[in-house]
Structure 1
Amino acid sequence: MASESGAPGGDAAGAGAPLTERGARTRERLLTAAREVFEERGFLDTRVAHITRHAKVAYGSFYTYFPSKEAVFLEVADRLFADMTQHDLVPLEGPSPAARVRRANRAYYEAYRRNAKMMAIIEQVSTFNVEFQEMRRKHRAVAVSRSAKAIRRWQAAGLAPADIDPEMASRALAAMVDHSLYLWLVQGEEPDDRLLDTLDTLSIRALGLDP
């Protein structure tokens, strides 16, 4: 399928130029519209014309702010991942390590639920867009690194077993929670609130923490 990879007649006009206040507002309108259209149509069936029509912006104006449909999708996804990963899997502060894990899992669940429609589109794009895959890996690496740091502190304090690899544990737990919520909130498996309690319990036991 053909990619809408650039403005008609050449490169994006004004790419990299400072935006006026009006220009910044227009760019935000395009980003908001792009997300809504992607959620409605999916990535492959979305066209720049759909986005500009939804944003009530002239078609040619799109290329003042973004060089392609792929570029606006990457920024929408980048913002989504920032929202999804702002909470550590294992936060440093809280009444107890187990309570911190529960709090982080619930915060991630709420973020995933807010973004479930876009997460479905993201899974689609992640199968073929290398640039997007790299951006996604970077966000996950930041979250895993923060969580691994907390696990190391717990190990140093004697709260978690010393034989657990902090980075591998963080990756494994993130994958478990992420995929479970994907199957529940995106694939539409039978909803059951017990899933959240089970994810908490498995995470806490995997880290050898007192419940």
Structure 2
Amino acid sequence: MAEESAPTLTQRGARTRERLIEATREVFEEIGFLDARVSHITARAKVAYGTFYTYFDSKEAVLRAIADRLFTDMTRPGRPPLSGASPAERVRRANRSYYEAYLRNARMMAIIEQVATFNEEFREMRSRHRAAFTGRSAHAIRRWQAEGVVDAGLDAEMAARALAAMVDHSLYLRLVHGEGDDTERFLDTLDALTVRALGLEEPQS
């Protein structure tokens, strides 16, 4: 879903809206969505209280704008694969790209996960993000099946969903809850589990 459309703004208006978005993200990351007030946001953005409602009708509306950008960042292809990279090497690069994107957005991901537990719109937005993530993985698995490097009998869609759930939840526990302290071992383990689940040959060290 693209960031919600806004009325045509002057350059000054666009800058003010951007300040509000940036200020909101800072406030949410510091004190959380539930405790945040519009007054906190406008104080951080250094604008009058009423200015907020010129651009957004609620803090949920500005969170939508933030979430749209976040999910665009999360689903954007990251490190381009090296020329001639094996499927296992592509898995490794994809996992690290997603880790880096999650690390940039971990605090907001925690907030969106929280809001999604009680807000249907954000639950659907989170589902669309997962679908974009798993869809790209399923496409890669089907291609590797066609090339004969992944078992053709494997359900590509279900495999992509299961592996994405493993990666996503593992990153959530590590980056939001702070579980674990050895990043390389953590990422190497995710790589190994993904590669072995798909029956790919691991790159030679």
1:1-211 aligned at under 5 Å gives the runs 16-87=6-77, 95-193=85-183, 194-211=185-202
SS in 2 for 1:182: helix
SS in 2 for 1:164: coil
SS in 2 for 1:191: coil
Superposition deviation, residue 92 in structure 1: 11
1:36-66 Cα shifts (integer Å, max 9, x gaps):
0000010000011111110011111111111
TM-score normalised according to structure 1 size = 0.87
Superposition deviation, residue 16 in structure 1: 4.2
Superposition deviation, residue 94 in structure 1: 5.4
CA distance, structure 2, for counterparts of residue 155 and residue 96 of structure 1: 14
CA distance, structure 2, for counterparts of residue 177 and residue 139 of structure 1: 14
Which stretches in structure 2 are left out of the alignment for 5+ residues?
A: none
Q: Judge conservation of contact 1:148–1:166 (CA < 8 Å) in 2.
A: yes
Give the length in aligned residue pairs. Answer: 196
Runs of 4+ in 1 over 3 A off after TM superposition: 91-94
1:138-187 Cα shifts (integer Å, max 9, x gaps):
12212211221111111011011111111111111111011111111111
Larger helix proportion of the pair: 2
User: Which amino acid counterpart does residue 148 of structure 1 have in structure 2?
Assistant: A
CA distance, structure 2, for counterparts of residue 148 and residue 92 of structure 1: 20
SS in 2 for 1:99: helix
Which stretches in structure 1 are left out of the alignment for 5+ residues?
A: 1-14
TM-score normalised according to structure 2 size = 0.90
1:49-105 Cα shifts (integer Å, max 9, x gaps):
1111100111111111111110101111121111112138xx797511000000000
User: Which amino acid counterpart does residue 102 of structure 1 have in structure 2?
Assistant: R
